[in-house]
Amino acid sequence: MRRRKKIFGLALFSAIIGCCLLCIAGLRSRVHRSERIILIVADALRADHVGCYGAPGNPTPNIDALAERSIRFTDCYSVAPWTWPSAAAMMTGRYPSESLVFPHDSKFLGYLARRPRTLAGIMQDRGFTTAAFSASRAFAPTFGFGRGFSTFPEFRNDRDAVRAAARWVSKHRNRKFFAILWLMSTHHPYHAADMPPSLRRQVSAARPCIRTGAIFGRHGLYSTAQITAHPRNDEEYSPAEIRLLHQMYEAGIHQVDRYIGHLLKATDGIPRTAILVTADHGEEWLEHGDIGHKLKLYAVNLHVPLIVHAPGYAARIQTAPVTNLDLMPTILALARIRPQTDLPGLALCSQRSIPRDRIIISEVGVAGWRVHRCSAHDDSYLVIHTLTAPPREPVVPRGGRWEYVTHGGRRATSAPDLRRALLAHESVAKRQVRATKSRPLDAKTKAELEALGYIAK
């Protein structure tokens, strides 16, 4: 009898401890769960132009203040150097070769593939109200990015997009939501509305190719008419003109920062709100012969800021390599939603440690569905492989079909592990790419995309 009592006592004790542990785990899970998640994407904002990533002159006080109380990822690389493939990767957690389709007869338009589940769709299925506020003509419902969003108004400028997003956030403060704000002030033609008057005067007095943004010729992405009118345009710029363009880009960064500050203010006092700030790709300033973002895969084209402020996660700096493929698993994990197991990315905040020797792969492919350039890097080397020459580039690029570069920018001789990883990725990517039929665009969208240089006239 005494023995039975003892066993009963032990079982009761274990059950109480078990319950306590479960309660603590449940409480911890609830405390750490983000019920409202806002993803802010500044188009073409390269990392080293942000204050907390080392840019001088305090260009981004609001982003820096957020970073102080967030996890700041120092080495985040986009999987693609331009908008459509990068947006597709962020929205599906999958490489562009799997998540984006291109029509055969268009060089640069892309559509989100039908098959992969989208981040917004999963959030919506789990009871989150979803909304996107975009001033980008590319990140738009026309190209399939509306999937999973219950609200997706499009805007002509960042100011209107931010105001609408701030109003929407305030209105939905008591609901579970997932919202994206996509800002364009950092994208060419770099016409920030609140450009300082002295800069505006210089722009007004500049040549039309700078005033109108009809620039940046050599390697596609810009219309044939523009290229014909301004052949080899980057090389025609005087040093003073390049400085002026760069100042215009910096004015765009300042404006993006101000708008982010405006939205952050709207989230003040709203509990369990996670905020992520990143960019879809970088921007080149003649480091590799071009201005803007095109089809290259160097660090300046891919290195982006990533700042994650989330309930339950202390501020820290994370230096292991990460990618924007990680955004989807990270956001799902913040919302305590189990991601699909076959996603290649990592849930960054809940990861105990991110492998320092992780290999990050990026790819770019347009025009008839060939994956024509891939890169892989770890924390020492970057390897770029050009399979086929992109339009307007020499068949064999200056560095050869295989380029090996150290992170300091020096040429290296080889990096066998990266080369192997890249070849393995390419063989899968080539099988996954899918073409689609061309879909007619309405006249207005077509004109806007032409003005941005994405499609040829």
Which positions lie near Zn ion, rule CB under 5 A? 43, 83, 280
Question: Is 424 in contact with 363 (CB distance < 8 Å)?
Answer: no
Q: Which is nearer to Zn ion, 280 or 290 (CB)?
A: 280
In whole angstroms, what is the distance from residue 264 CA to residue 58 CA? 18
Nearer to Zn ion, 66 or 87 (CB): 87
Cβ burial, residue 270 (10 Å; 0-12/13-18/19+): middle
Q: Among all residues, whose Cβ is closest to Zn ion?
A: 83
Which is closer to Zn ion, CB of 144 or CB of 339? 144
- Shorter beta-carbon distance to Zn ion: residue 70 or 186: 186
Which has the closest alpha carbon to 264: 67, 131, 87? 67
Alpha helices in 153-271 (DSSP H): 158-171, 197-204, 208-211, 224-229, 233-236, 239-267
Question: Cα separations (Å) of 384 from 113, 363, 376?
Answer: 26, 9, 7
Closer by beta carbon to Zn ion, 327 or else 418: 327
Whole-angstrom distance, CA of residue 13 vs CA of residue 2: 16
Nearest approach, Cβ of 263 to Zn ion (angstroms)?
19
User: What is the C-alpha separation between 175 and 36, in angstroms, rounded?
Assistant: 8
Question: Smaller CB distance to Zn ion: residue 43 or 257?
Answer: 43
Closest CB 74 distance from Zn ion, rounded Å: 21
Residue placing its CB nearer to Zn ion in the complex, 80 or 331? 80
Nearer to Zn ion, 84 or 177 (CB): 84
Strand partners, 277: 40, 307
Q: How far is CA 9 from the centre of its chain?
A: 56
CB neighbours (10 Å) of residue 157?
Answer: 14
Q: Who contacts 326 (Cβ-Cβ below 8 Å, separation ≥6)? A: 345, 346, 347, 348
User: In terms of CB distance, is 339 or 390 closer to Zn ion?
Assistant: 390
* Shortest Å, Cβ 162 to Zn ion: 18
> Please, what is the minimum distance in Å from the beta carbon of residue 157 to Zn ion?
16
Closest of 34, 72, 95 to residue 332, by C-alpha: 34
The backbone region for 414, taken as left when phi is positive above 0, alpha when psi lies in -120 to 50, beta otherwise, is beta
Give dist(CA 267, CA 432) in Å, integer.
Answer: 40
Give every CB contact of residue 4 below 8 A, 6+ residues apart in sequence.
none
